[in-house]
Amino acid sequence: MPNNAIEVEANLIREQPYFASQGSEIELFDAAYRNRIPVLLKGPTGCGKTRFVEHMAWRLQRPLITVSCHEDMTTGDLVGRFLAVGGETIWQDGPLTRAVRHGCICYLDEIVEARKDTIVVIHPLADDRRVLPIDKLGMLLKAAPEFCLVISYNPGYQSVLKDLKQSTRQRFVAMEFDYPSADLEATILASETGIDPTLADLLVRFGQLTRNLKGNGLEEGASTRLLVHAARLIQSGTQPALACEAAITRVLTDDAEMLSAIQALSETIF
């Protein structure tokens, strides 16, 4: 088996990732996949977008290749480049090219963080052509039938400089994610960490209080991910108030006044 194929096989998710559905997202993703339509996920940080993609990769039994996008990422980082190895020049596929060749799900996380000239490379993949231009090889690589492109971003961080062009948006099926309802979020915490349901309820209550501060001193409130972190610390024997301070309060802000305010909220609950 070629090295690339071995790497791809290693990206198969063997065990079911826990995911609590909030609506019809599973059915919608499945329909988009069967019709070879790329998927755009929108929602705040830590609300379950990445876990959802992992869950769908497991359901569909397709390898998952995840790329965390950033402002220095070039087209070569995605597509591939020539490398000098042992006196020879060889071509090395990038993660997007590996996914296209081998029929993987390719997840470009926080796509708006990437350079605009890098994002453009996905356009021919995200329409009826389903091809990836590899300019350095002078070829158009046809996507395997099982290939699926998924991108995500957090609308709360958008600006004029970090926004998806309509020419990109209108190639995708879009799905909106948000934090779960209180009952469902408590169930997620209990399922993920084994924490006592009563403590899970209290953590969720604290998380919701911090979310109410968004736009009033905080860029974001506590995500479900942060609540899971706090729950795991508590399960390991850390006192709840200290777990919340370390896993949530000090993660959310460095501002002294906001730290005091959030700490006061924690003290009213724990």
Residue 170 CA to its chain's centroid (Å):
20
pLDDT at 270: 87
Residue 139, amino acid: M
pLDDT at 163: 79
What global pTM score does this model have?
A: 0.90
Q: What CA–CA distance (Å, rounded) separates 44 from 155?
A: 7
pLDDT at 258: 94
Nearest to 151 by CA among 124, 103, 114: 114
pLDDT, one tens digit for every residue, the chain (270 residues): 455 666 677 899 999 999 999 999 999 999 999 999 999 999 999 999 999 999 999 999 999 999 999 999 999 999 999 999 888 999 999 999 999 999 999 999 999 999 988 999 999 999 999 999 999 999 999 999 999 999 999 987 655 456 788 999 999 999 999 999 999 999 999 999 999 999 999 999 999 999 999 888 898 899 999 999 999 999 999 999 999 999 999 999 999 999 999 999 999 998
Which residues, in sequence order, are bridge partners of residue 39? 150, 173
Q: What CA–CA distance (Å, rounded) separates 9 from 127?
A: 26
Q: What CA–CA distance (Å, rounded) separates 74 from 51?
A: 26
Q: Quote the tokens at residue 97.
A: 């090219």
pLDDT at 160: 45
Helix axes 256-269, 197-211, angle to 10 degrees: 150
**Cβ-contact 181, 191 below 8 angstroms:** no
Q: What CA–CA distance (Å, rounded) separates 137 from 216?
A: 51
pLDDT at 87: 84
pLDDT at 1: 41
Torsion, Cα of 200, 204, 207, 208 (10° steps): -170
Q: What CA–CA distance (Å, rounded) separates 186 from 226?
A: 13
